[in-house]
Amino acid sequence: MRYTDQAPQFVQLHHPVPGAVRPELIAGLQETPARIAPKFLYDALGSRLFDAITELPEYYPTRTEAALFTQHGADMARHMPAGAVLIDLGAGSCAKAARLFPVLQPAAYVPVDISVDYLRDTLRELQQRHSELPMLGLGMDFSTRFTLGAAATEWLADRGLAEQPRVVFYPGSSIGNFLPDEALALLCQAHAVCEAGGSGGGLLIGVDRVKPRTVLEPAYDDALGVTAAFNRNLLRHVNRLLGADFAPAAWQHVGLYNAEASRIEMHLQASGTQTVRWDGGERTFADGERLHTENSYKWDPEDFEALLREAGFGAPRHWTDANNWFSVFWAPA
């Protein structure tokens, strides 16, 4: 089929207009220690840098998860409803979901991402390759609240898909970016989205597991410095959003494993004392002071299964690799 046979639709709920995120950014910069939410890592350049990170030899999650889908995808599909609406959280390039189209055979594809322009471009390219599959892009910040909203619900109803089961797909262990109570809140919202569709829906989610520091830390501080560029690009993004004057080259990337909290932490560390200014405020950072930019929690399967049950899902099952580094869970709604 030709691309013109089916055009992707797009609903933009996240509008990165100047000033809209100022209160959130300023509040984080004024905390001690200062922090910036990881969602601000993903402007258009940040999204592309993250795609490059997934190709690095040190970054095991993407290839390990991909191998699990290759090896066990057919088995996963046997536990999932055919003809579901596939809702892809943090879709990015949409590549992970697209590789599962042949086994999951979705009735529609709804990718969701905060990087609006990047998602719009990738969805347009994806529709060319899958012109028979209805697609609706949702440009939204689901980190604060995840719901399909009226426009997406109407789009499904117009295509006779309102009563189709819904599969929320959240790969890449991105659930680890949330504090445990935040992760629970998001999973509860995902459960509600699944329940709003037909019976048989659920959650297919990738979860990174606890493992040795010698494996974890290089994955978040690679030899080529791609992760460092990804982290520092956040400052360029904040400069645009806040009218700030961060000098990215004056900040060093730090990626470390906090064993007590069972999480990788990413920080930017000031090289020398520096004062960062924005319209209406400023903050002076001491030499060596850190700005916290991301967490990535690592889970034991038993603990994550308990979290899924607390969010309302039924008995989950999971698949893992030979090293027990990564798991993919299917949790019925």
pLDDT at 295: 97
Region 10-33 average pLDDT: 81
Neighbours of 10 (CB within 10 A): 16
253: which 2 tokens? 């990337």
Mind listing the pLDDT tens digit for each residue in 72-121?
999 999 999 999 999 999 998 999 999 999 999 999 999 999 888 889 99
* CA distance linking residue 26 with residue 211, whole number of Å: 35
Residue 3 pLDDT: 32
pLDDT tens profile 276-319: 999 889 999 999 999 999 999 999 999 999 999 999 999 999 99
148 in the Ramachandran plot: left (φ > 0), alpha (ψ -120 to 50) or beta? Answer: alpha
Q: Where are the domains of the chain?
A: 22-48+215-297, 58-211+298-332
3-class secondary structure for 150-212? HHHHHHHHHCCCCCCEEEEEECCCHHHHCCHHHHHHHHHHHHHHHHCCEEEEEEEEEEEECCC
- Asked whether 205 and 170 are in contact (CB, 8 A), the reply is yes
* Per-residue confidence (pLDDT) for residue 144, from 0 to 100: 86
**Multiple choice CATH, 58-211+298-332, 3.40.50.150, 3.90.550.60, 1.20.58.1880, 3.40.50.10800:** 3.40.50.150
- Distance (Å) of CA 253 to CA 57, 123, 249, 268: 19, 32, 10, 5
The reported pLDDT for the residue numbered 15 is 56
